[in-house]
Protein backbone atom coordinates (compact mmCIF):
# COMPACT_ATOMS: atom_id res chain seq x y z
CA UNK A 1 0.00 0.00 0.00
CA UNK A 2 1.28 3.44 -0.89
CA UNK A 3 -0.28 5.32 2.03
CA UNK A 4 2.08 7.73 3.78
CA UNK A 5 0.17 7.41 7.06
CA UNK A 6 0.40 3.60 6.96
CA UNK A 7 4.13 3.95 6.33
CA UNK A 8 4.49 6.23 9.38
CA UNK A 9 2.40 3.83 11.52
CA UNK A 10 4.45 0.82 10.37
CA UNK A 11 7.69 2.77 10.89
CA UNK A 12 8.64 2.30 7.23
CA UNK A 13 9.44 6.01 7.10
CA UNK A 14 10.61 8.08 10.05
CA UNK A 15 8.46 10.73 11.66
CA UNK A 16 9.88 13.13 14.20
CA UNK A 17 6.36 14.39 14.78
CA UNK A 18 4.89 11.40 16.67
CA UNK A 19 3.58 12.67 20.01
CA UNK A 20 1.30 9.84 21.17
CA UNK A 21 0.41 6.23 20.43
CA UNK A 22 -2.02 3.68 21.79
CA UNK A 23 -3.21 0.28 20.50
CA UNK A 24 -5.54 1.85 17.92
CA UNK A 25 -4.01 5.17 16.87
CA UNK A 26 -0.91 7.26 16.36
CA UNK A 27 -0.84 11.03 16.81
CA UNK A 28 1.55 13.24 14.88
CA UNK A 29 2.11 16.95 14.58
CA UNK A 30 0.92 18.26 11.22
CA UNK A 31 3.88 19.05 8.93
CA UNK A 32 2.00 22.12 7.66
CA UNK A 33 0.47 23.43 10.89
CA UNK A 34 -2.12 26.18 10.87
CA UNK A 35 -1.68 26.72 14.62
CA UNK A 36 0.90 25.77 17.27
CA UNK A 37 0.18 22.17 18.31
CA UNK A 38 -1.93 21.31 15.21
CA UNK A 39 -1.99 17.52 15.32
CA UNK A 40 -3.50 14.53 13.52
CA UNK A 41 -4.79 11.36 15.15
CA UNK A 42 -4.51 8.49 12.70
CA UNK A 43 -6.11 5.05 13.16
CA UNK A 44 -3.54 2.25 12.90
CA UNK A 45 -5.88 0.28 10.66
CA UNK A 46 -6.15 1.71 7.15
CA UNK A 47 -9.57 3.19 6.50
CA UNK A 48 -10.27 5.96 4.03
CA UNK A 49 -13.04 7.41 6.17
CA UNK A 50 -15.02 7.00 9.39
CA UNK A 51 -17.59 4.74 7.75
CA UNK A 52 -14.87 2.18 6.98
CA UNK A 53 -13.39 2.13 10.48
CA UNK A 54 -14.40 -1.01 12.41
CA UNK A 55 -16.69 -0.20 15.35
CA UNK A 56 -14.29 -1.78 17.84
CA UNK A 57 -11.55 0.72 16.86
CA UNK A 58 -13.57 3.91 17.26
CA UNK A 59 -13.20 4.10 21.05
CA UNK A 60 -9.40 3.79 20.96
CA UNK A 61 -9.08 6.39 18.22
CA UNK A 62 -11.22 8.93 20.07
CA UNK A 63 -9.46 8.13 23.36
CA UNK A 64 -6.29 9.20 21.56
CA UNK A 65 -8.00 12.42 20.41
CA UNK A 66 -8.87 13.21 24.02
CA UNK A 67 -5.39 12.33 25.35
CA UNK A 68 -3.60 14.42 22.73
CA UNK A 69 -5.97 17.33 23.41
CA UNK A 70 -5.09 17.08 27.11
CA UNK A 71 -1.38 17.05 26.26
CA UNK A 72 -1.72 20.13 24.06
CA UNK A 73 -3.89 21.91 26.64
CA UNK A 74 -1.36 21.22 29.39
CA UNK A 75 1.66 22.31 27.37
CA UNK A 76 0.51 25.08 25.00
CA UNK A 77 -2.54 26.38 26.89
CA UNK A 78 -4.84 27.13 23.94
CA UNK A 79 -8.15 28.86 24.56
CA UNK A 80 -10.01 25.98 22.89
CA UNK A 81 -9.93 23.51 20.01
CA UNK A 82 -11.50 22.88 16.65
CA UNK A 83 -11.73 19.22 15.65
CA UNK A 84 -12.18 18.11 12.08
CA UNK A 85 -12.51 15.09 9.84
CA UNK A 86 -12.45 15.39 6.06
CA UNK A 87 -14.18 12.58 4.20
CA UNK A 88 -12.97 12.43 0.62
CA UNK A 89 -13.69 16.12 -0.05
CA UNK A 90 -10.83 18.12 1.40
CA UNK A 91 -8.84 15.01 2.31
CA UNK A 92 -5.22 15.23 1.17
CA UNK A 93 -4.30 11.72 2.36
CA UNK A 94 -6.85 8.94 1.78
CA UNK A 95 -6.52 7.59 5.32
CA UNK A 96 -8.92 8.67 8.05
CA UNK A 97 -7.40 11.25 10.37
CA UNK A 98 -8.88 13.49 13.01
CA UNK A 99 -7.47 17.00 13.03
CA UNK A 100 -6.89 18.66 16.38
CA UNK A 101 -6.45 22.39 15.88
CA UNK A 102 -5.64 24.40 18.99
CA UNK A 103 -7.46 27.73 18.98
CA UNK A 104 -6.23 30.97 20.47
CA UNK A 105 -8.17 34.21 20.99
CA UNK A 106 -7.53 36.48 18.03
CA UNK A 107 -6.16 33.66 15.84
CA UNK A 108 -8.23 34.77 12.84
CA UNK A 109 -10.08 31.47 12.61
CA UNK A 110 -13.82 31.11 12.33
CA UNK A 111 -16.46 28.61 13.29
CA UNK A 112 -16.51 25.20 11.63
CA UNK A 113 -19.88 26.32 10.28
CA UNK A 114 -17.95 28.46 7.80
CA UNK A 115 -16.52 25.43 5.98
CA UNK A 116 -19.58 24.90 3.78
CA UNK A 117 -22.36 27.09 2.44
CA UNK A 118 -24.95 24.72 1.00
CA UNK A 119 -28.30 25.38 2.66
CA UNK A 120 -30.83 22.55 2.26
CA UNK A 121 -33.77 23.07 -0.07
CA UNK A 122 -35.92 20.50 1.76
CA UNK A 123 -37.46 20.96 5.19
CA UNK A 124 -35.84 19.43 8.26
CA UNK A 125 -38.79 17.02 8.47
CA UNK A 126 -38.15 15.80 4.91
CA UNK A 127 -34.47 15.34 5.53
CA UNK A 128 -35.16 13.56 8.84
CA UNK A 129 -37.56 11.17 7.09
CA UNK A 130 -34.94 10.30 4.47
CA UNK A 131 -32.29 9.67 7.10
CA UNK A 132 -34.58 7.56 9.29
CA UNK A 133 -35.61 5.48 6.27
CA UNK A 134 -32.00 4.28 6.08
CA UNK A 135 -31.54 3.82 9.85
CA UNK A 136 -30.95 0.58 11.69
Angle at 95 between CA 16 and CA 104, to 5 degrees: 60
- Catalytic residue check, 113: no
> For residues 82-114, b (16+ Cβ closer than 10 Å) or e, as one string?
beeeeeeeeeeeebbbbbbbbeeeebeeeeeee
What are the strands of the beta sheet with 18-21, ordered from one edge?
A: 18-21, 25-29, 39-43, 98-103, 80-84
DSSP state of 113: G
Could you say which of 95, 97, 113, 134 is catalytic?
97
Is 77:36 a contact under the CB 8 Å cutoff? no
Active site residues: 97
Amino acid sequence: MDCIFCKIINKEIPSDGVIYENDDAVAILDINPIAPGHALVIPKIHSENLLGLPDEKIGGVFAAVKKVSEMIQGSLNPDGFTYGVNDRIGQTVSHLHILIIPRYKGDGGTSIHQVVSNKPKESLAEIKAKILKHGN
